[in-house]
Amino acid sequence: MLICRVPSVVLLACALGVCCAPVEADVISIADTSVSLSSTSIAFFSLSGPGSVTLGAASTGAFAGLGGSPATLQSINAGSGPISNFLSIPTLPNAHFTLTSVGPGTANTNCAAVAFFASCSPFAGSPFVLTRTIASTVLSFSALGTVADNSGATSPFTAVFSTEISGQTPAAVQTLLASGTLQAPF
């Protein structure tokens, strides 16, 4: 298995050399990016605009030297089906990432009763997992898809996105998501 990792944001694992070279030394760091979350959508943005992200200087392995390169993450809407070019990295034009699913979250939706380092989801069927820490809530979600190269060879990938929401309990984040949109840097 090949691993492409974005610290505290995305963990991409794939079996082809399309997106990365072997082993866990391949890290994609994404810099200066935020996420907007609601019960029906996930949108990525930066100062460069919607969907725009920049690869960070901490990228290593097959991604070393790509720091400062632009990339794009497509928004995710509930029930939208597969998303072609979910992740696009112009400096790696042969890697085509298609998102096929998001989630699942956890079965527990009682966020008011979550113990430290335990998790809940804000509502049934939500892809979001809220994990209580001492002084914050970590909101995460997973995504699955395929990555293909120009020859048509494909391999599965897994992505895990997360952000820390300081000073908020899982119950408070649950309420925020139920009442509208939550924006957070990651």
pLDDT in tens, 43-69: 988 888 888 888 888 877 767 888 888
User: CA angle, 162 as apex, 85 and 73 as ends, to 5°?
Assistant: 20
Residue 163's pLDDT is: 87
Q: What tokens does 51 get?
A: 């969907």
Q: What would the pLDDT profile of 76-99 be if each residue is shown by its tens digit?
A: 988 888 999 998 999 889 888 899
Residue 102's pLDDT is: 92
Residue 90's pLDDT is: 93
Per the CB < 8 A criterion, the answer to whether 53 and 71 are in contact is yes
CA distance 124 to 76: 18
Cis peptide before 7 (omega within 30 of 0): no
Residue 78's pLDDT is: 84
pLDDT bracket for residue 183 (50, 70, 90) = confident
Q: Look-up: residue for tokens 């298995």?
A: 1
- Calculate mean pLDDT across residues 135-143: 93
Q: What would the pLDDT profile of 9-39 be if each residue is shown by its tens digit?
A: 343 433 333 333 333 446 667 777 888 888 8
For the chain, the average pLDDT equals 81
Residue 15's pLDDT is: 34
pTM for this predicted structure = 0.78
Residue 26's pLDDT is: 61
Q: What would the pLDDT profile of 154-178 be if each residue is shown by its tens digit?
A: 888 877 788 899 999 999 999 988 8
The percentage of the chain sitting over the pLDDT mark of 90, rounded to a whole number, equals: 38
Higher pLDDT, 138 or 14: 138
Q: Look-up: residue for tokens 């079996």?
A: 15
